[in-house]
Amino acid sequence: MAGKLIPTPSQTVGPFFSLGLDRPEWNDLTVGNPAGERIVIEGRVTDGDGAPVPDAVVEIWQANAAGRYAHPEDQQSDKPLDPNFRGFGRCATDAEGRFHFTTVKPGTVPGRGNSLQAPHINVLLFSRGLLIHLHTRIYFEREAANAADPLLSSIEDPKVRGTLLARREGSGQAGSPPRYRFNIVMQGENETAFLEL
């Protein structure tokens, strides 16, 4: 049963959130040199007109390369904690609605029952015009574990499912980390699959 108090209602971050939420260094989750494959995730946030959203902020939360979250509730003792990886990132969009993160590719994490969740990054989106933030997930295309992922396999429409898949971009410079594209379409055709958590 729910508790006794009513949770505080959400309110929009408005257009001036960078005053309080500006952490330009938080879009690089690899500064501590964590274990795992480095990846870059780039994307763009657009609205119902297809126009870029220049006043949004994207936050991500993910497991480490072994598939363990840096949180006391994750007690998977068979997987190492990585003292160099906190798993949290934030990036505000620029004038063209773009954001990017440098991180490590997460491992698989347990789902409910005996299921296994494919590697994914949990996403929060805040912006002017959002009274309450949106949730989605970034999965990776051509990942073997996707086929058995409970969320992905619950989505019947392949077009909707596809909105959750980050696309591998053409290789950049030799030695640079793989780049993935993950756009967030807030409304309309190709609208991102958002989650009710």
Backbone Cα Rg of the chain: 17
Q: Which of 110, 141, 153, 171 touches other proteins (CB under 8 A)?
A: 110
Site for other proteins in 33-52 (CB under 8 A): 47-49, 51
Quote the least distance from Cβ 176 to other proteins, whole Å. Answer: 27
Closer of 28 and 61 to other proteins (Cβ) = 61
Cα gap 155→71, rounded to integer Å? 29
What is the sign, positive or negative, of the torsion defined by CA atoms of 158, 61, 103, 181? positive
Selected range binding other proteins among 34-42, 97-105, 123-131, 173-181, rule: CB under 8 A: 123-131
**C-beta neighbour count of 159 within 10 angstroms:** 11
Quote the least distance from Cβ 100 to other proteins, whole Å. Answer: 19
- Burial grade of 39 (CB within 10 A; 0-12, 13-18, 19 or more): buried
Quote the least distance from Cβ 41 to other proteins, whole Å. Answer: 17
Selected range binding other proteins among 35-43, 116-124, 165-173, 174-182, rule: CB under 8 A: 116-124
Site for other proteins in 73-92 (CB under 8 A): 73-76, 86-88
Closer of 56 and 179 to other proteins (Cβ) = 56
Say if CB 122 and CB 61 are below 8 A apart.
yes
DSSP, collapsed to helix, strand or coil, labels residue 41 as strand
First to last CA, the chain: 17
DSSP state of 25: G
- The count of residues interacting with other proteins (CB under 8 A) is 76
97 binds other proteins (CB under 8 A): no
Closer of 1 and 174 to other proteins (Cβ) = 1
